Amino acid sequence: MKRLDQVLAADGVNAELELVIKDVMVACKDIAYKLGQGELAGILGATEDENVQGETQKMLDVISNDLLKDILVANPYVRGVGSEEEDYTIAGNADGKYLVTFDPLDGSSNIDVNLSVGTIFSVLEAQDNKSGDNQEVFLQNGRKQVAAGYVLYGPSSLLVMTTGNGVNLFTLDTNIGEFVLTKEALQIPEETAEFAINMSNQRFWEPEMKQYIDDCLLGEEGPLGKRYNMRWVASMVAEVHRILIRGGIFMYPYDNRDPSKAGKLRLMYEGNPMSMIVEQAGGASSTGRMDIMDVAPQGIHDRVPVVLGSKNEVAKVVAYHTK
Ligand code: AHM
Ligand code: MG
């Protein structure tokens, strides 16, 4: 079976980018090991700190963030890193070509109940001479990403990634400590009858989103003409992975619980990398009104409404928002 480095080389990925991706994986393998140890390592539960997003940090949020940050800022090809768990971007090597943003442990409310969590990462090229601790160097839209991926820590640890040439799935072979290719060129089915959304927020949504979900719930008799199934893992990595394997639509729309926030999920750590993966697998990704990867970031921690997955279903949701 092909190892990750062999696949990257065959895809024409340059040696510098390959080393950046490999360092992300060194950290992810460590995270996978620590998650496996769980209570035995005494690392479950919350810290007393809040992150810049105002969320209480879990111990494993902090550990995962430090693992990724430390290895990446020491990588000679990394100009800087940006993390969901850090207030500011952090400088790496001033001559480094790449910028890496990450959500070190997505879905971390699932940690303490032993359910799926993941790491999401995105790689951009630094476009000018600014240092990596200047967030402006990161403010590029998602189309500029040169690589994006996630690691899903579940019954097995999986890496799903793209460098703009389709999407491959790797499984962590713990016997050799390497990610090996287990599925090539993933394609999301264009049609689906399965949606994922946190229904408890329904009363806070915009009327367009309410209408779409109401119509889904009407089933065969409703205007959408089919019976829908619903899933909600509360872990975006797990939801996107399910969609890559069997189709579906995932939504975290705008809601007015806190009208100052454009959505719950973050553009640079969640929206953009997942959108690149989904589009590379033949799916679609939108805010409901425009492609997520065309959104121009104003700040490193910007939030964005997210609708992604099977192409034809995403098109329906966009139609509700734009008619
Ligand atoms: P996190 O990055 O703080 O873990 O939050 C992101 C997560 C997503 O993985 C998931 O889709 C969503 O937040 C779950 O939200 P909710 O708590 O509303 O179910
Ligand atoms: Mg997250």
| SS3 of 176-242 | CCEEEEEECCCCCCCCCCEEECCHHHHHHECHHHHHHHHHHHCHHHCCCCCCCEECCCCCHHHHHHH
Tell whether 219 and 255 lie within a shared domain.
yes
Tell whether 179 and 47 lie within a shared domain.
yes
Compute, in angstroms, the gap from residue 43 CA to the centroid of ligand 2: 19
Three-state secondary-structure class, residue 77: coil
Tell whether 127 and 226 lie within a shared domain.
no
Classify residue 149: in a domain, yes or no. yes
The type of residue at 59 is M
Compute, in angstroms, the gap from residue 297 CA to the centroid of ligand 2: 17
What is d(CA 309, CA 243) in angstroms, rounded to the nearest whole number? 6
As beta bridge partners, residue 172 has 179
Q: What is the mean pLDDT of the chain?
A: 96
CATH number at residue 285: 3.40.190.80
Tell whether 238 and 122 lie within a shared domain.
no
Q: Which two tokens stand for residue 202?
A: 């329904």
Classify residue 205: in a domain, yes or no. yes
Q: Which of 117, 148, 183 is the last residue of a domain?
A: 183
Compute, in angstroms, the gap from residue 116 CA to the centroid of ligand 1: 12
Q: Which two tokens stand for residue 122?
A: 């995105």
* Probe residue for ligand 1, chosen from 53, 102, 198, 250 as the CB with the greatest number of ligand atoms within 8 Å: 198
Q: Find the DSSP H helices in the chain.
A: 4-10, 15-37, 59-73, 207-217, 236-246, 272-280, 311-322
Predicted confidence band at 46 (pLDDT cuts at 50, 70, 90)? confident
**Contact indicator for 59, 67 with CB cutoff of 8 Å:** no
Compute, in angstroms, the gap from residue 107 CA to the centroid of ligand 2: 6
138 DSSP 8-state letter: G
The boundaries of the domain holding residue 288 are 194-322
Compute, in angstroms, the gap from residue 119 CA to the centroid of ligand 1: 13
Q: Which of 154, 183, 212 is the last residue of a domain?
A: 183
**Contact indicator for 303, 147 with CB cutoff of 8 Å:** no
Predicted confidence band at 156 (pLDDT cuts at 50, 70, 90)? very high
Residue with CA at minimum distance from ligand 1 atom 5: 107
Predicted confidence band at 108 (pLDDT cuts at 50, 70, 90)? confident
**Contact indicator for 243, 278 with CB cutoff of 8 Å:** yes
What is the model's pTM? 0.97
Tell whether 167 and 231 lie within a shared domain.
no
Q: What is the mean pLDDT of residues 113-141?
A: 96
Q: Looking at residue 99, what is its pLDDT? A: 98
**Contact indicator for 299, 265 with CB cutoff of 8 Å:** no
% of the chain with per-residue pLDDT over 90 = 90
CATH number at residue 156: 3.30.540.10
Classify residue 145: in a domain, yes or no. yes
Shortest-distance atom of ligand 1 to CA 107? 4
Structural domains counted in the chain: 2
What is d(CA 289, CA 321) in angstroms, rounded to the nearest whole number? 6
Shortest-distance atom of ligand 1 to CA 108? 4
Tell whether 92 and 171 lie within a shared domain.
yes
What phi, psi does 169 have (nearest 5°)? -115, 130
Which ligand is closest to the CA of 58, given by its number?
1
What is d(CA 247, CA 283) in angstroms, rounded to the nearest whole number? 9
Q: Looking at residue 80, what is its pLDDT? A: 98
Tell whether 83 and 60 lie within a shared domain.
yes
* Probe residue for ligand 1, chosen from 252, 269, 274, 304 as the CB with the greatest number of ligand atoms within 8 Å: 252
Q: Which of 137, 155, 183 is the last residue of a domain?
A: 183
The type of residue at 36 is G
More confident residue, 112 or 136: 136
**Residue ranges around ligand 1 (CB below 6 Å):** 55, 84, 103, 106-109, 198, 234-236, 252, 264
Does the pLDDT value for residue 45 go beyond 90?
no
Classify residue 111: in a domain, yes or no. yes
% of the chain with per-residue pLDDT over 70 = 100
Does the pLDDT value for residue 53 go beyond 80?
no
Q: How many Cα atoms sit within 13 Å of 307 on the Cβ side?
A: 23
Which ligand is closest to the CA of 50, given by its number?
1
Beta strands 90-91 and 78-83 are: antiparallel
Does the pLDDT value for residue 219 go beyond 90?
yes
Tell whether 155 and 75 lie within a shared domain.
yes
Tell whether 206 and 177 lie within a shared domain.
no
* Probe residue for ligand 1, chosen from 110, 236, 240, 243 as the CB with the greatest number of ligand atoms within 8 Å: 236
What is the phi-psi region of residue 225: left when phi exceeds 0, alpha when psi lies from -120 to 50, beta otherwise? left
**Contact indicator for 150, 119 with CB cutoff of 8 Å:** yes
